[in-house]
Structure 1
Amino acid sequence: MGSINQPLSNAQLEILKAFSFDLSDDDLKELKNLLAKYFAEKAIKSANSVWEEKGWNDDKVDDFLNRKLR
């Protein structure tokens, strides 16, 4: 297995700079939860935009759920 030479993203670099010290276990857990919540909210907003853009409703979603895809 070879190593991948990929530079860090801008977000990774900022996080490394901001947290160049050790966090307590509780603080680390809180940070992970905060990041998870942030990305979950972004995903929900994106899904809501698609929902509105496509004019979907509960009936359309039920149709998707009941459709055989194979």
Structure 2
Amino acid sequence: MANSQPTPDKLSNLQLELLKLYPYTVSEEELTDIRQLLADYFAQKIDREMSQLWQEKSWNDQTIEQWKTEHLRSGTAQ
């Protein structure tokens, strides 16, 4: 199965930091905990950014109801 993402020329700062963990062996339970920590971190970050966007745009429940009825298709085949 081919990878559809381009291969970067260099590692990101996150990848470099995670590579520092390679010498350590962790249990499956610890690995699951680490994955959950990373998932929680990025979920919280997205939540904060979305809250900020909602405030900046003054969005509310009425906005969501309005979006439900909007026609957003461009008319061109994708």
Q: Same fold (TM over 0.5)?
A: yes
Higher share of residues assigned helix: 1
Deviations 1:6-43 (A, max 9, x none): 21101111111134212110000000011000000000
For 1:6 and 1:39, the matched residues in 2 are separated by 24
Partner of 2:19: helix, strand, or coil?
helix
For 1:19 and 1:65, the matched residues in 2 are separated by 47
- Alignment partner of 1:24 out of 9, 24, 27: 27
The one-letter amino acid paired with 1:66 is: T
Structure 1 length normalisation: TM-score? 0.85
Report the equivalent of 2:46.
Answer: 43
Unaligned runs of 5+ in 2: 74-78
Structure 2 length normalisation: TM-score? 0.77
Higher RCO by CA contacts (8 Å cutoff, separation 6 or greater): 1
Unaligned runs of 5+ in 1: none
Partner of 1:18: helix, strand, or coil?
coil
Q: Percent identity?
A: 36
Large movers: runs of 4+ above 3 Å: none
